[in-house]
Amino acid sequence: MKKLILLITFISISAIQIVSAQCTPVVFSGPSFTSPDTSDVITPAVETQLYSQIINVRIPEDTVLNGAVIAIDSAGILSITGMPASLSWLTNSSNNYWPGNSYGCVLIQGTPAVGDSGTYKVTVTIAVHALGIAMPFTLDYNVEILSQAFVGVEMNKKDEFQVFQNQPNPFSNNTIINYYSPKNTNIEFNVYDIVGNQVIHKEESASKGKNYISISKNNLSSGIYIYEIVNGKDAIRKRMVIK
């Protein structure tokens, strides 16, 4: 069953312009079938702005059922639920199915409306067919939609390091912190509780321009926290609240 969970791969999620109501499959190599997996963050959408994401799909040649290796006839998407009405999906297949040992893609697109901001648990229901047996399972993903007011902040000082207020704030599940870097550099990200204990620390690369960091509540308790982004020269701190 573990191999079944690796059947549909959410790999290389990248923003595109909608040229037509279609996507083109991208062939990718293994061995990993889950990069990124369901714990990773999909690029967030923004209210009133066109959103378009391609999800590349890989269907293996076979799987294991009751200890035996069997060929996969086909696999496909039965439904994708949990998105706001402003977003929709389609695939490059007329019936949303692909044969075993093949590649496909899913296009999620739309323009989120004002008021759609928040975190959405998006459930993908998949069916795998082998030996005349249909084996369904689900994958859950978190999709963030940022508010227009937050993302629309005019960044007039393009030559300065800037960190913006996390959105949403307060939050109960996930939040996004946008920041602007005037150059490609390495940054440190820290989160402290109200008494100064460091509860999160990580280092990552920032590209010149807009960047973002996603935070999940995980094991953090409800309360007030201070987050900090350090670019080696400057350190900017802001407050966030977990419900």
* Res. 154: pLDDT tops 50: no
Q: Quote the pLDDT of residue 112.
A: 93
Q: Where are the beta strands (DSSP E) in the chain?
A: 11-15, 45-46, 51-59, 62-65, 68-71, 74-81, 87-91, 97-99, 102-110, 118-130, 133-146, 162-163, 174-181, 185-193, 198-206, 209-216, 223-230, 235-242
How large is the average pLDDT for residues 118-125? Answer: 87
Q: What percentage of the chain reaches a pLDDT higher than 70?
A: 81
SS3 38: coil
* Res. 72: pLDDT tops 50: yes
As a whole number of angstroms, the distance between CA 137 and CA 55 comes to 18
* Res. 139: pLDDT tops 70: yes
Domains of the chain: 2-146 (2.60.40.2310), 153-242 (2.60.40.1930)
How large is the average pLDDT for residues 81-107? Answer: 92
* Structure confidence at residue 202 as a pLDDT band (50, 70, 90): very high
* Structure confidence at residue 74 as a pLDDT band (50, 70, 90): very high
Q: Considering the entire predicted model, what is its pTM?
A: 0.57
Q: Which of 145, 146, 51 is nearest to 107 (CA)?
A: 51
Higher pLDDT, 35 or 79: 79
Least confident of 26-35, 52-61, 193-202: 26-35
Size of the chain, expressed as the number of residues it contains: 243
Q: Quote the pLDDT of residue 158.
A: 60
As a whole number of angstroms, the distance between CA 99 and CA 15 comes to 26
Higher pLDDT, 234 or 27: 234
Higher pLDDT, 179 or 44: 179
Q: In the structure encoding, which two tokens stand for residue 1, read together? A: 């069953």
